[in-house]
Every structure is written in structure tokens, then in C-alpha cells.
């Protein structure tokens, strides 16, 4: 008799975990039920701006509702799990329904981190009109409902989400001011020089950038009218969007007596201290570390699928080397490891091309790549990421590392899609099997459905093989 596996949450981590479980024939062991709060299958949050600009959620959906049924997985949409008992092996949803489980996985993701400011909500606890966060498809639809061309908007937060929200609102014709508490944009992914390059590119889009800006309050009785900054300065705004970071969603775990810190505490098997209860993705804290990027989350899913199915009883998660490559407001950015020197003996290589708006930086420690920052041109990112992951020794001429067009020095079969670890031979095999477009490749291999940073390289491989892709956009 199959055991009952409950997965709480239906984001990108769940989507990847389901893929990994299916590859290991998990349905022969488990009846799998996914509890998702949203009304549809999991979708790619990295591409949320498409919804903001008027696209449908279907445009960024990774797994349709039909997919779950076709694969023998029960999907409960609009299902808010508000209580779980490890002792009783049961969970309850907000509509009062009770569900038995043998094993459960917390994949609850993260929630927006709101700064402690006044005036976000009305006295009855509802969001003011013209105030939104940028996290879900529903958030994007709310933002769009208040967006009026030519009117002022304020985005609070200068990280990745904030920049994407600002770009989306600017594309809708709004006059956008971006407020960031810290002195540099994307301060976790790029260093000061990279942030300057990024800021210049953003300002060329007509977006006003204010760093070191301390947001105090949203002004307006029932709807947003302005934002109050330190020093009593006011910035007019018909729409105020908060994109000031995220934090692991751990409320259900806390209420269920599962130990938490910043995230839900897990061991190398992604198991909590309670047997049969696991956590994966942005909500999980492993070795005092939580992750908010796709690659580590997918690495966790691989391990957890091995653990749950017994496919590899020795599978263990040892942490991830964080690598990010994406387009930020249309600008290529890649970051990995340390973005600044830490040790006195660290070697720093920097190349600045002012006219092109390109910046490249390497942090080298003990002849190994300890980190890199690329802004404006991330063509060398894939090769650097492979060296970073494997800890390869580096060429004596460090500038050779930026020669991304020369693939002779790179090993055959390296990952094209780092999110899904899909290599070039796999892509070429899919093309030979009949894949003609990026959509075909994504459906067959999963490549390009994570951060999207590899889609240009996928298009090049298709063109190289004599196939014309339907689209090469990111």
C-alpha cells in the first residue's frame, strides 16, 4: 500500500521536487498531494514582470493543473494549511478539512519583508489603495490595476525584485522613483563599482534612483498619495510598491512545534528534528544558511527526492555555492561567491569598460576562483561558474578567463542550464530528437525554465543545429 506524501506549498521548489520524484518512480511508493494557496499550478516567479505588463499567469506557468492530474498527483488549489500535527500525522486546511499523511514536506517558500513604516494599511487592517508588494502573480495584477501612465510611482527596495518592479512600472508609462535604504543597488550581488554601472543603466531608462533613502511612511488616508522620507521629505506616489526583500515563511512550522530560526531547521537529509517532516527551498535553513536563488533550491530537491524514495540512501545536502545569472532591467548581471576580497592575500582582477557600461571582477584565493561579479556582459559567466563550482586552478593570465568565445579550454559537456544541470550533449540530443524551439527544449529537458539566463545560449545551440527558435527573449 502506498504511503501518503503531503507537500505544503506549490512554488518553484515543489515543481522541481515533483520532477525529481517522478524521475525516481516515487508514485509507486507514494500518493502525493500538493497543497497550494494560489488558484493555479506552480509558475516561474522570476518572470513575474510578464504578468505585470499584462500577460496571463499561463504565460509563466511551469506546471498546468492538467499536468498534476496526468502525472497522478493530487493538487489542491486555494488550500491554506493552518495546522499540522506530527503526532497525529494530520494536517488541516483553513476550510476545516482534515488530511492524513505519512510524510510531509514544508515547501512554503518566503514572504515579503516589509520595512517598519506607518501608513501601509487602513485602520481596519486592509491594504490602502495604491499600496502593493511584489511577490506573486496576484500582486502583479494588483499593481497593474493601480498603474496609470504618466502618474508617479515609488518602489521601495533596490534589490533584484525592486529593480524588476521599477522597470515594469516604467514600461507601463509611470514616472518611477526607486528608493533603496543602502548606498548601493543589489548590494548582495554586486560590489560598489558594479552597482554604479547598474545605476547608470537604470537611470538611462528614465527611472529616478535614490540610495540611502529611509522610507518612514505612506501618506494618504484611504489611498497612497506620497511617501515620507527621513527629514520630512515627501515623494509623490499614486502607487507604492514594496520589494524590500523576502524572509522564509515559517509560521506553520512554528505553530506545529517544528524548530525554526530564520528558517525551518533541517539536517543534511533536509529533515527537521521530527522524523518524517522535511523542509525544502526558501523556507529551509541548513547549517545556519537560507537560500533565495533557484540553483541551491534545486540542489536540495535532488537530495530530498533521493532521501524520500531511497534511490540514494546516502544522499546528503552539504550546502551550495551560490551562483546567479540573470537580466536585471534588461542588463546582464552575474554574481557568484564573494563579491569583495576577504583575505589579505586575495587577488582582485577588475576590468572596467566605461563606454560599453561593462564591468567584470574576479576574486581569486589560493589560485581558485572565490567569487566574481559581471555587469553589462555576462558571456563569460558559464565558464566562470564551472570553475567556481569545481574549484579548478586558474590560468596564469587571468584575463583568459574572460575569453568566453573560446570554448576550447572548457570541458565538453558542461552545464548550459545551471538551474537544471542540463548539459550541451543533452540539448543537442533533444534537437536531434525533434525539438525545434525554445519551448520544445524547455518541455523536453527543463532547460531555460529556471532563472532564464541560459535562454540565449539555448537559442544559439538551436541556430547552430540549423533550427530557428520561435523566440530568444528572456
pLDDT score, position 470: 46
In a domain, 405, yes or no: no
Please indicate, yes or no, whether residues 299 and 253 belong to a single structural domain of this protein: yes
Cell triple for residue 247? 524572509
Please indicate, yes or no, whether residues 205 and 287 belong to a single structural domain of this protein: no
Cell triple for residue 393? 586552478
Please indicate, yes or no, whether residues 267 and 221 belong to a single structural domain of this protein: no
What is the pLDDT averaged over residues 101-119?
95
Please indicate, yes or no, whether residues 179 and 221 belong to a single structural domain of this protein: yes
pLDDT score, position 414: 60
DSSP 376: S
Q: Which range is least confidently modeled, 57-61, 247-251, 319-323, 440-444?
A: 440-444
Please indicate, yes or no, whether residues 234 and 254 belong to a single structural domain of this protein: no
CA 283, CA 247: separation in Å to the nearest integer? 8
- 130 contacts: CB under 8 Å, gap ≥ 6: 146, 220, 223, 224, 225, 237, 238, 239, 240
Q: How far is CA 230 from CA 113, 114, 212, in A?
A: 20, 17, 10
The three-class DSSP label of residue 423 is strand
The three-class DSSP label of residue 271 is strand
In a domain, 190, yes or no: yes
Please indicate, yes or no, whether residues 105 and 36 belong to a single structural domain of this protein: yes
Say if residue 409's pLDDT is above 50: no
Name the nearest CA neighbour of 40 among 8, 82, 68: 68
In a domain, 376, yes or no: no
pLDDT score, position 473: 44
Task: Provide the residue range defining the domain that includes 168.
Answer: 131-244
Cell triple for residue 250? 515559517
Q: At what angle do helices 137-146 and 160-171 cross, to 10 degrees?
A: 40
Say if residue 235's pLDDT is above 80: yes
Q: Which of 288, 309, 330 is the last residue of a domain?
A: 309
Tell me, rounded to whole angstroms, the distance of Cα 350 from its chain centroid.
27
In a domain, 398, yes or no: no
Please indicate, yes or no, whether residues 237 and 264 belong to a single structural domain of this protein: no
Please indicate, yes or no, whether residues 215 and 147 belong to a single structural domain of this protein: yes
pLDDT score, position 376: 93
CA 242, CA 51: separation in Å to the nearest integer? 17
Q: How confident is the model at residue 434 (pLDDT cuts 50, 70, 90)?
A: confident
Which CATH number characterizes residue 29's domain?
Answer: 3.50.50.60
Tell me, rounded to whole angstroms, the distance of Cα 261 from its chain centroid.
21
In a domain, 382, yes or no: no
What is the pLDDT averaged over residues 204-226?
95
Tell me, rounded to whole angstroms, the distance of Cα 319 from its chain centroid.
17
Structurally, the chain folds into a number of domains equal to 3
Please indicate, yes or no, whether residues 236 and 272 belong to a single structural domain of this protein: no
Using the CB atoms, write b or e for 162-171: b if 16+ within 10 Å. Answer: bbbbbbbbbb
Tell me, rounded to whole angstroms, the distance of Cα 207 from its chain centroid.
23
Name the nearest CA neighbour of 270 among 237, 230, 234, 315: 315
Cell triple for residue 299? 540542489
Q: Which of 244, 268, 292 is the last residue of a domain?
A: 244
- 372 contacts: CB under 8 Å, gap ≥ 6: 334, 335, 336, 337, 360, 361, 362, 363, 381, 384, 388
Helix, strand, coil % (nearest 5) of the chain?
Answer: 30, 30, 45
pLDDT score, position 290: 96
Using the CB atoms, write b or e for 308-337: b if 16+ within 10 Å. Answer: bbeeeeebebeebebbbbbbbbebbbbbbb
Residues 251-302: pLDDT tens digits? 999 999 999 999 999 999 999 999 999 999 999 999 999 998 888 999 999 9
CA 454, CA 382: separation in Å to the nearest integer? 9
pLDDT score, position 150: 96
Q: Which of 290, 309, 328 is the last residue of a domain?
A: 309
Amino acid at each position: 500500500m502506498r504511503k501518503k506524501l503531503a507537500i505544503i506549498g506549490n512554488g518553484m521548489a515543489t515543481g522541481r521536487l515533483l520532477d525529481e520524484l517522478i524521475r525516481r518512480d516515487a508514485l509507486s511508493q507514494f500518493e502525493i498531494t500538493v497543497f497550494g494557496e494560489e488558484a493555479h499550478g506552480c509558475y516561474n516567479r522570476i518572470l513575474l514582470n510578464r504578468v505585470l505588463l499584462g500577460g496571463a499567469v499561463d504565460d509563466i506557468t511551469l506546471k498546468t493543473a492538467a499536468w498534476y492530474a496526468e502525472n497522478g498527483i493530487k493538487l489542491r488549489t486555494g488550500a491554506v494549511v493552518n495546522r499540522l500535527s506530527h503526532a497525529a500525522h494530520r494536517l488541516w486546511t483553513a476550510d476545516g478539512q482534515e488530511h492524513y499523511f505519512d510524510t510531509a514536506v514544508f515547501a512554503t517558500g518566503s514572504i515579503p519583508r516589509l520595512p517598519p513604516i506607518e501608513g501601509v494599511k487602513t485602520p481596519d487592517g486592509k491594504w490602502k489603495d495604491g499600496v502593493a508588494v511584489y511577490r506573486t502573480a496576484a500582486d502583479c495584477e494588483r499593481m497593474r490595476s493601480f498603474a496609470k501612465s504618466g502618474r508617479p510611482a515609488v518602489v521601495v527596495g533596490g534589490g533584484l525584485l525592486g529593480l524588476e518592479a521599477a522597470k515594469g512600472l516604467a514600461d507601463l508609462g509611470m514616472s518611477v522613483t526607486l528608493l533603496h535604504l543602502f548606498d548601493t543597488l543589489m548590494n548582495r550581488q554586486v560590489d560598489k563599482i558594479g552597482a554604479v554601472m547598474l545605476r547608470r543603466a537604470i537611470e538611462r531608462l528614465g527611472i529616478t534612483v535614490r540610495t540611502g533613502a529611509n522610507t518612514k511612511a505612506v501618506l494618504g488616508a484611504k489611498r497612497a498619495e506620497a511617501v515620507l522620507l527621513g527629514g520630512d521629505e515627501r515623494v509623490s506616489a499614486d502607487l507604492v510598491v514594496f520589494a524590500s526583500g523576502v524572509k522564509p515563511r515559517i509560521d506553520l512550522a512554528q505553530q506545529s512545534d517544528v524548530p525554526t530560526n530564520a528558517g525551518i531547521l533541517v539536517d543534511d537529509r533536509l529533515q527537521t528534528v521530527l522524523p518524517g517532516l522535511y523542509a525544502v527551498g526558501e523556507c529551509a535553513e541548513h547549517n545556519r544558511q537560507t537560500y533565495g536563488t533557484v540553483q541551491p533550491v534545486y540542489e536540495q530537491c535532488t537530495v530530498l527526492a533521493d532521501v524520500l524514495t531511497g534511490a540514494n540512501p546516502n544522499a546528503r545536502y552539504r550546502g551550495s555555492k551560490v551562483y546567479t545569472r540573470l537580466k536585471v532591467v534588461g542588463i546582464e548581471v552575474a554574481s557568484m561567491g564573494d563579491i569583495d576580497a576577504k583575505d589579505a592575500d586575495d587577488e582582485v582582477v577588475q576590468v572596467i569598460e566605461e563606454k560599453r557600461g561593462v564591468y567584470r571582477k574576479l576574486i581569486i584565493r589560493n589560485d581558485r576562483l572565490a567569487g566574481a561579479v559581471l555587469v553589462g556582459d555576462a558571456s563569460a559567466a558559464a565558464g566562470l561558474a564551472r570553475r567556481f563550482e569545481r574549484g579548478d586552478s586558474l590560468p596564469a593570465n587571468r584575463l583568459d578567463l574572460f575569453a568566453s568565445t573560446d570554448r576550447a579550454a572548457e570541458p565538453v559537456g558542461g552545464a548550459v542550464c545551471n538551474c537544471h544541470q542540463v548539459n550541451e550533449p543533452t540539448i543537442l540530443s533533444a534537437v536531434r530528437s525533434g525539438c525545434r524551439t525554445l519551448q520544445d527544449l524547455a518541455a523536453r529537458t527543463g532547460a531555460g525554465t529556471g532563472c532564464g539566463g541560459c535562454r540565449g545560449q539555448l537559442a544559439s545551440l538551436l541556430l547552430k543545429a540549423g533550427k530557428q527558435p520561435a523566440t530568444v527573449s528572456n
